Amino acid sequence: MILLPEQPWWQKGVIYQIYPRSFLDTTGNGIGDLRGIIKKLDYLEELGVSGLWLCPIFPSPMYDFGYDTSDYYNIEPLFGSMDLFQEMLLTARKKNIRIILDLALNHTSHLHPWFIESSSSRNNTRSDWYIWANPRPPRRPPNNWKSVFGGSAWTWSEKRKQYYLHSFTPEQPDLNWRNPDVKKELYNIIRFWLEKGADGFRLDVVDFFLKDDRLRSNPLCIGRRPYEMQKHIYDKNRPETIEIMREIRSLVDLYPHKLALGEVAERNTEIAASYYGPASDGLHLNFNFDFLEQPWKAKAFQVSIEDWEKLLGTGNWPVYTLSNHDVPRHFSRYGNCQNRARAAAGMVLTLKGTPVIYYGEELGMPQGRIPRAQIRDPVGKRYWPFHPGRDGSRTPMQWDDSPNAGFTDANPWLPVNPNFPRVNVADQKKDPQSLYHFYRRLIKFRNSSNALQSGIIRFTNPSNSSVLAYQRKVPGENLLILINFSSRDQPVELPSKFVSPHLAFSCPTLEIEAGKKRVLLPPDGFAILQE
């Protein structure tokens, strides 16, 4: 008998992303905290998730809400303390829930002591820890690189009479990953949190870690906004970055069952796939932003998934998500419709790969509308009204119908969605037909199905362009998943093995007549049939 290696938890289970500021406030300052997460671990256990990805919880002046870290070895006091972190870890562990930390290692805060020292002169012990360059005469930035968040990627320092690079806001100077001392320190940070017991990392913008060593200007191209008017061949995705991914992987693999999950916000899937490493020795997982940006069309998703499957091959494991803290919530992107939200969840939770769900999507929380005066996100502040910013996907979790949706007793840091009296956890828990219960039942089903956790995926092309149909299969379990992307009934021909199938899961309930070769899939219908 061949003994297959046990599948890691992060392949089998569902990961739930929490934006800690917005989950639950227990200190009365309008900002969520770690105690809030601890309090809701029962809720998360009941939902059936296996891991939590927490957006950054380290000390930060919050210019980019934690993605500007000023101390990598501590917990942000607004969120709690190291003791509280340990308590969260232990309580979660007892419930079989793992904790994934979000590390932003491309850049620090401009208030990080490393940057303060580095910018103090041209000859200090950290003078080369960031990317400094002389001006092009008379005092122009060193090259044409742009910040993702607008404007030049270079800011002038009077003290050094040089520019420093920041791929995001000026308050987020880019670290110099080419400096061995910097790399050593960043790997220490990874080791530090693994030793503390963290179960892995979501690694922010890994594609930006290395820049061209000669700082060459990017070639220009046609694009909608200034950042898109350049081909980003010199300021990110440098081929040598893969070496770093491999080093991180071997470091993380020294600790059993830990996860390195990358963020490469890239529609080019070949580039995104390359972060898994040439011999599957890079990151364990890397997000697929092509999938996340698909329109609500069966064919579009099928093409995206098949492309990703092909690029990853058999040695790499996919990860799928439809929402996160940077993009508008998919509930609203796909039409603010509870039934469609079921179909979307049905897809993400049954594909081959790790599903990552975003807090509140299990309720159908919509994208928030933030009045201008209440915008907090640096992107929104800079670009309103052309871009409202990302606050709308970060509004407080809707726990119940009490003031502020039970999120806080104080003034919430972002306004609560006004629909909270209708859309909240307490009400949905009471209603067996709710979206929450749909997620819960389906996650439960997934957690007990080998085919869904580890089986191969094969699309069956049901000659109906509104329906996505695929099989998930392991020896002894063969499932057919059907998802209707339209708001009409859709007939679907069943593959011969699925004539008179056992209906394992469906929403709304599917009528199946014995011996019939076709079923009528209701609008937004989702079904799992068993051979």
**Binding interface with ligand NOJ (CB under 6 A):** 64, 67, 104, 168, 204-205, 263, 325-326
- Residue 199 appears among annotated catalytic residues: no
DSSP state of 54: E
Q: Give the integer Cα–Cα distance in Å for 443 and 34.
A: 25
Residues 524, 484: contact at Cβ < 8 Å? yes
Nearest-approach distance from CB 282 to ligand NOJ, in angstroms: 19
Cβ closest to ligand NOJ, residue 204 vs residue 524: 204
What is the DSSP track for 135-185? Answer: PBTTTB-SS--B-TTSSBSEEEETTTTEEEE-SS-TTSPBB-TTSHHHHHH
**What number of other Cβ atoms are within 10 A of residue 195's Cβ?**
9
| Shortest CB 388 distance to ligand NOJ, Å | 15
CB crowding 8-24: b at 16 or more within 10 Å, else e: bbbbbbbbbbbbbbbbb
> Are 392 and 371 contacting, i.e. CB atoms less than 8 angstroms apart?
no
- Least CB distance to ligand NOJ at residue 462 (A): 36
Helix (H) or strand (E) holding 436, with range, is helix 435-447
Which residues lie below 8 Å from residue 530, measured CB to CB, with a gap of 6+? 477, 478, 479, 480, 501, 502, 503, 504
Check: CB of residue 352 under 8 Å from CB of residue 457: yes
- 249-to-84, 169, 180, 191, 254 alpha-carbon distances in Å: 28, 28, 18, 12, 9
Nearest approach in angstroms of CB 56 to ligand NOJ is 9
In the block, residue with structure tokens 């800011």:
155
Nearer to ligand NOJ, 104 or 442 (CB): 104
Q: How far is the CB of 26 from ligand NOJ (least distance, A)?
A: 24
The distance of Cα 252 from the centroid of its chain, to the nearest Å, equals 19
Minimum CB distance to ligand NOJ smaller for 264 or for 510: 264
Compute the least distance from the CB of residue 118 to ligand NOJ, in Å.
Answer: 19
Smallest distance from ligand NOJ to CB 67, Å: 3
User: With respect to ligand NOJ, which residue has the nearer C-beta, 106 or 464?
Assistant: 106
- For tokens 């975003």, what's the residue? 358
User: Given the complex with ligand NOJ, which of 378 and 455 has the nearer CB atom?
Assistant: 378
Report the residue number, 112 or 446, with the smaller CB distance to ligand NOJ. Answer: 112
Query: According to DSSP H, which parts of 258-415 are helical?
Result: 269-274, 289-292, 298-312, 330-333, 338-348, 378-383
Tell me how far, at minimum, the Cβ of 104 lies from ligand NOJ, in Å: 5
Catalytic residue among 204, 207, 361, 524: 204
SS3 270: helix
Residue 150 tokens, joined: 């607008």
Q: Spot the catalytic one: 25, 171, 263, 266.
A: 263
- Asked about 477 being catalytic, the answer comes back as no
CB of 263 to ligand NOJ, least distance (A): 6
As given in the structure block, the two tokens for residue 38 are 């601890």
Residue with smaller CB distance to ligand NOJ, 209 or 439: 209
Inter-residue contact 472 to 530 (CB < 8 Å): no
Question: Which of 57, 67, 36 is closest to 100 using CA atoms?
Answer: 57
Choose between 33 and 207: whose C-beta lies nearer to ligand NOJ: 207
Can you give the length of the chain in residues?
A: 531
Q: Which is nearer to ligand NOJ, 170 or 455 (CB)?
A: 170
Find all residues with CB under 8 Å of 188, minimum gap 6, and list them: none
Residue nearest to ligand NOJ (CB): 67
In the DSSP assignment, the letter for residue 519 is: E
> CA neighbours within 13 Å on the CB side: how many for 140?
7
User: What amino acid positions are annotated as catalytic residues?
Assistant: 204, 263
